[in-house]
Chain A
């Protein structure tokens, strides 16, 4: 296999996207955990909403990662 043909601009962009989406997904998962812990430390009426938003954030990051890995 020719290495030069494998290392195209498209491959570079895809690798960049996947790498940063993996970072973002890790960050999003940390936020979920932190919201859980802080929600336990100070619980108010907004705590479940914040938890829900943080989970949605993880969902979007995961969907984008799958899109970048699989479809593109």
Chain B
């Protein structure tokens, strides 16, 4: 009864998110390149939104910085407009905002495309580290040997996110799901899928 109630609570927590632009999505409406026929995506994970706050704050500071730069420089007796010809100021300002936008967009893409998927067949890890590096790796559920979660630090504990380490069979690599929300729920969901794959009933002791 207790196990069933706990399971229902987990399903309840997991059913709360439906949008594919979030960090924790159950049964997302997405397709991926190597998806096989009949393969169903159960969980889509990204780094917790809290981990994105530093760059968002930086972008906000960079956006409002030009409004203060003139007065900051005048404090040290530097007149910016006497150094730069007036007709360049508009283009330089526009270029500055374009750079800030480019930085923000690249950071968003990095978050959005760094995705971990759990399907009924395997786990898939999409890595997107900047514009020049991307990698896609996967492991079948039958290759998974161990799944563990760790939550380190006050912020991670408060916002309930952590790293999940999935160890697979000898010749395959290790999978690390970094800073994903609700690590305990994710581990349980992976374990459930593993047990389904192995054909064991939940809670069965070997």
Q: Footprint of B on A, CB under 8 Å?
A: 9-10, 13-14, 17, 20-21, 24, 27-28, 30-31, 34-35, 37-38, 40-46, 50, 53-54, 57, 60-61, 64, 67-68, 72
- The answer for the CA separation of A13 and B95 in the assembled complex, in Å, is 13
Please state if B134 and A38 are interface contacts (CB–CB under 8 Å).
Answer: yes
B29 x A44 contact (CB < 8 A): yes
List 29 contacting pairs A-B, 8 Å CB cutoff, sorted by A. A14-B88, A17-B88, A24-B99, A27-B131, A28-B102, A31-B102, A31-B131, A34-B128, A34-B134, A38-B109, A38-B113, A40-B33, A41-B134, A41-B136, A42-B31, A42-B32, A43-B30, A44-B20, A44-B30, A46-B21, A50-B112, A53-B105, A57-B102, A60-B94, A61-B98, A64-B91, A68-B91, A72-B88, A72-B91
Report A48 CB to chain B, min CB distance, Å.
13
* Interchain nearest-CB distance for A58 vs B (Å): 11
B:83-110 near A, CB below 8 Å: 84-85, 87-88, 91-92, 94-95, 98-99, 101-102, 105-106, 109
Q: In the complex, A28 Cα to B91 Cα: how many Å? A: 18
Residue of B nearest to A63 (CB): B94
Contacting pair A30 B105 (CB below 8 A): no
Interfacial chain A residues near B113, Cβ < 8 Å: 38, 41-42
Of B91, B99, B132, the most chain A CB neighbours within 10 A belong to B91
Q: Tell whether, in the assembled complex, residue B109 and residue A34 are in contact, meaning their CB atoms are under 8 Å apart.
A: yes
Interface residues on B, range: 20 to 34
Q: In the complex, what distance in Å separates the CA atom of A38 from the CA atom of B109?
A: 9
Instruction: Give B117-139 as 1s and 0s: 1 = Cβ < 8 Å from A's Cβ atoms.
Output: 00000000010100110101000
Overall SS of chain A's interface: helix
Known: A27-B131, A31-B131, A42-B32. 15 other contacts (CB 8 A): A17-B95, A24-B102, A28-B102, A31-B109, A34-B109, A34-B128, A38-B109, A40-B33, A41-B33, A42-B113, A44-B20, A44-B28, A60-B98, A72-B87, A72-B91
> Given contacts A35-B109, A57-B105, is CB(A64)–CB(B94) below 8 Å?
yes
